[in-house]
Amino acid sequence: MNQVHIVGRGAIGLLLANKLAQHTQVTLITRDDDFDDYHLIDNEKSHAIPVSQTTFDSLRSKITHCIVPVKAYQLSQALHALAPHLHDDANIILSHNGMSDVSEIIQSLKTNQALYFLTTSMGGMKPLANTVKYTGAGLTQIGACNQIAQARLPSLFQGLIQPCLSQAQPVDDINEIRWQKLCVNIAINPLSALLQCKNGKLRAPAYARQVLSLLNEACFVAGLDGVELKLSSELMRAYQVMKLTAENNSSMAQDIKIGRRTEIDAICGFIVSRANRHGVSVPENEWMWQQIKRKERA
- Report which of 256, 283, 255 is spatially closest to residue 271, judged by C-alpha positions: 283
User: At 27, phi and psi to the nearest 5?
Assistant: -125, 125
Give the C-alpha separation, 173 to 234, whole Å: 17
When computed from its CA atoms, the radius of gyration of the chain, rounded to whole angstroms, is 19
Pairing of strands 140-144, 131-136: unpaired
Q: Say which amino acid occupies 231.
A: L
Other CB atoms within 10 Å distance of the CB of residue 251: 25
DSSP bridge partners of 141:
119, 169
Catalytic residue among 19, 71, 181, 295: 181
Give the Å distances, CA to CA, from 184 to 54, 58, 256: 34, 38, 18
DSSP 243: H
Q: Taking the CA atoms of 78, 80, 85 and 86 in sequence, report the sign of the dihedral they define.
A: positive
Length of the chain: 298
| Mode of pairing for the β-strands spanning 86-94 and 3-7 | unpaired
Instruction: Tell me the C-alpha distance between 135 and 266, whole Å.
Output: 24
Alpha carbon distance 226, 252 (integer Å):
28
For this structure, is 181 an active site residue? Answer: yes
Residues labelled as active-site residues: 181
